[in-house]
Structure 1
Amino acid sequence: MFKIDRWIHAAAALLLSSALSACAQTPAAAPAQATAKANIVVLATGGTIAGAGASAANSATYQAAKVPVDKLIAGVPELAEVANLRGEQVFQIASESFTNEKLITLGKRVAALAKDPGVDGIVITHGTDTLEETSFFLTLVVRTDKPIVLVGSMRPGTAMSADGALNLYDAVVLAADKSSRGKGVLVAMNDDILSGRDASKRINIKTNAFGSQWGALGSVVEGKTYWFRAPVKRHTNDSEFDIEKIDALPMVSIVYGSGEMGTALAEAAAKAGAKAIIHAGTGNGSVPDYEVATLRKLRADGVQIIRSARVPDGFVLRNSEQPDDKYDWVVAHDLNPQKAKILAALALTKTGDTKELQRIFWQY
């Protein structure tokens, strides 16, 4: 028995020695290849996110469009862990100074970058005052499924509790995430992921300024995206509009509804050359009785009349309040006046037929 035990121990030792020798001669398994970071371009246009105040206590009084894009990116070093970034300074303006010409310039640059195989996503820093118009415009005219994310801030970077750095971080996370593809142009503000179609600035001076009556698409929390719904209206690759074929936009004016509003504003808009008037009516896009004849005459003269509402939520019903079929008018559905203005301008580059215009407002 003693000899057998010695033999068993000797054999076990030999097997162990052989195993250790084999391990020593076998090369270690190569570590799993790290996932390549997305290549993101940050297009800067100015706005509060690039603003500076006189002191940390100035959150609503400041100068917009002061900080260049390279400093914006450098101010959030955590961005380097999320994506490979490069910045371009397209404009350095407060967003209330955006014009149709600037919209088209920005749109063409975004479209060119979206075609670049070396670009995985695009972030656009933008002032909040007209961010909703730009986001909707890009939603309609850029043919791509790559993520395009607009971002701004309500407080300059010099203010206490400034929101720009986290908003920018969230925007880059969103643009770098493959799950963002095909969802149209997005807006990243205050942890929310909003659709560029229906995102709207609903509060000023507070950081929760942007929202949509239809709710957020999702959220960005601690560098991760969470989705809850997707847009169903036509956008980007499914759009009939193409920025590469657009070099100018027709004039569209908004006439704001109120008690005792008169008719002079609508008449002045037409005289100034407006091809369409967005009538931002009260309630369900209401038109006062004393204005109906004026709008009907303008329509007979070739000006498109599009009934929207000054009410933030809800939508305008066709042939309710006014006989739109009879008057050959269009309703903006759920689009607020400023978004209706963007869609009307683009639609008029395609058609002047009222039925076609109404189809476009239903579909987008």
Structure 2
Amino acid sequence: MRSHCTAAGIRLALLGCLLLSASHAAAAEKAEEGKARIRILATGGTIAGTQTRQQDHAYKAGTLDVEQLIAAVPDLKQLAILGGEQVANIGSQDMNDAVWLKLARRINALLATPDVDGIVVTHGTDTMEETAYFLNLVIRSDKPVVLVGAMRPANALGADGPANLYNAVAVATHPGARGRGVLVAINDEIHAARSVIKTNTTNVQAFESPNRGPAGLVHGGRVTWFEPMDKKHTHRSEFSIEKVEKLPRVDILYAHANMSADLLEAAVKNGARGLVIAGVGEGNMTHQSREVLAKAVKQGVAVVRSTRVMSGIVRRTSEVDDDKLGFVASGELNPAKSRVLLQLALTKTKDPAQLQQYFQEY
């Protein structure tokens, strides 16, 4: 009798455990309901870098993989249903057109499915503004795409990567992020890809949008939005990489006092299909350089005047007669972003008037 009671007790206990387990599973499943499904695509950079000694400034970028990045951020999985992929593992100084095309194609493929609600891209800070703007022009969805990086390696004192990644995922899950184009979330600020630039070599407050200001703020996962971007981007963009295997070569040359024109001639000779001038002031350069560039335009090379100055606008036919010389004025775009737009624009046209239209619209 006693053994029978014991067996019955065990069966009841097991049944209770099964019911409790099922109850917990149902509760967990219910907790997951309504969460955004975010894919984190890692490309390396300082956010995934480590240093051997705190006293050293030297470190190696991209030593941590995407799963390690996710695991290092407390409560990150409470924000969203996460998945990770390693697209590249490089310092962003080595970012290149091939990785851009690979990354953009993967993002487009993921966002085309109902299983992904948004993308977060971990990236080095050196060229993050360029990658963000490239994606802003070629992503074919209004779902959120947020880039994030860090100014300090993962094991440095006061590492900023974990908080930045947490906030980036929070931005990607926020309903207000949809339709805003590609964003950069860093140091408690949200920036539009078109506006943001890196303005400091090492400080955590290294990113600004000098002409327009940030697109929003994010602190501890709480998001506040400001005015949306008024230029074309993402699902409204006419640029496509579907049939693009290689982007045209576009070089940037820096204007300065006593600027020589031989580097301009060398760039054209070596196959540049476009030239962007980081001009002085409002996109100006030496008289000799203007003459060489005017000849390049007649040879079918596109020329864009930007500025080495951090803020302001390069207006058409102000100090330089763009109409006469066949140049394009960059407007708000700095030299790095002017290069990105010109690369894509040259896949469609070489006409200076149409190129200028692109710079006004994008």
The structure 2 residue matched to 1:145, chosen from 142, 146, 151, is: 142
Partner residue of 1:84? 81
Whether 1:155 and 2:152 are equivalent positions in the alignment is yes
Partner residue of 2:13? none
1:47-96 deviation line (CA, Å, top 9, x unaligned)? 000000112344x4211110011000000131011011110001000011
The structure 2 residue matched to 1:166, chosen from 163, 167, 170, is: 163
Query: How far apart, in 2, do the equivalents of 1:317 and 1:223 lie?
Result: 39
Query: How far apart, in 2, do the equivalents of 1:45 and 1:222 lie?
Result: 24
Query: How far apart, in 2, do the equivalents of 1:222 and 1:151 lie?
Result: 15
Partner residue of 1:22? none
Q: Could you say what secondary structure the match of 1:237 adopts?
A: helix
Q: Which amino acid aligns with 1:198?
A: S
Q: Could you say what secondary structure the match of 2:277 adopts?
A: strand
Partner residue of 2:312? 314
1:258-285 deviation line (CA, Å, top 9, x unaligned)? 0112001111110110001001110000
Partner residue of 2:256? 258
Q: Within 5 Å, give how 1:105-184 maps onto structure 2.
A: 105-184=102-181
Query: How far apart, in 1, do the equivalents of 2:290 and 2:129 lie?
Result: 30
Q: Could you say what secondary structure the match of 2:75 adopts?
A: helix
Check the 8 A contact 1:287/1:322 in 2, yes or no: no
1:290-326 deviation line (CA, Å, top 9, x unaligned)? 2222111111111111101100100111111111001
Q: Which amino acid aligns with 1:333?
A: G
The structure 2 residue matched to 1:349, chosen from 341, 344, 347, is: 347
Task: Give the Å deviation of 1:151.
Answer: 0.2
Whether 1:236 and 2:264 are equivalent positions in the alignment is no
Task: Give the Å deviation of 1:246.
Answer: 2.5
The structure 1 residue matched to 2:49, chosen from 51, 68, 74, is: 51
Partner residue of 2:273? 275
The structure 2 residue matched to 1:326, chosen from 324, 327, 338, is: 324
Task: Give the Å deviation of 1:344.
Answer: 0.1
1:130-160 deviation line (CA, Å, top 9, x unaligned)? 1000000000001101000000000001110
1:196-245 deviation line (CA, Å, top 9, x unaligned)? 11111111110010111110011112211101111111001110112323
Check the 8 A contact 2:256/2:285 in 1, yes or no: no
Superposition RMSD on alpha carbons, in Å? 1.2
Check the 8 A contact 1:142/1:243 in 2, yes or no: no
Check the 8 A contact 2:38/2:83 in 1, yes or no: yes
Q: Return 5+ residue gaps in structure 2 as ranges.
A: 1-26
Percent identity of the aligned residues? 46
Query: How far apart, in 2, do the equivalents of 1:141 and 1:106 lie?
Result: 11
1:14-38 deviation line (CA, Å, top 9, x unaligned)? xxxxxxxxxxxxxxxxx9x655211
Query: How far apart, in 2, do the equivalents of 1:273 and 1:99 lie?
Result: 17
Check the 8 A contact 1:57/1:160 in 2, yes or no: no
Check the 8 A contact 2:45/2:125 in 1, yes or no: yes
Larger radius of gyration: 1
Q: Could you say what secondary structure the match of 1:245 adopts?
A: coil
Check the 8 A contact 1:55/1:158 in 2, yes or no: no
Q: Within 5 Å, give how 1:264-303 maps onto structure 2.
A: 264-303=262-301
Q: Which amino acid aligns with 1:247?
A: E
Partner residue of 1:66? 63
Query: How far apart, in 2, do the equivalents of 1:223 and 1:279 lie?
Result: 40
State the TM-score, normalized to the length of structure 1.
Answer: 0.89
Partner residue of 1:26? none
Q: Which amino acid aligns with 2:104?
A: G
Task: Give the Å deviation of 1:190.
Answer: 0.2
Q: Could you say what secondary structure the match of 1:243 adopts?
A: coil
Check the 8 A contact 2:259/2:285 in 1, yes or no: no
Whether 1:248 and 2:246 are equivalent positions in the alignment is yes
State the TM-score, normalized to the length of structure 2.
Answer: 0.90
Check the 8 A contact 2:250/2:339 in 1, yes or no: yes
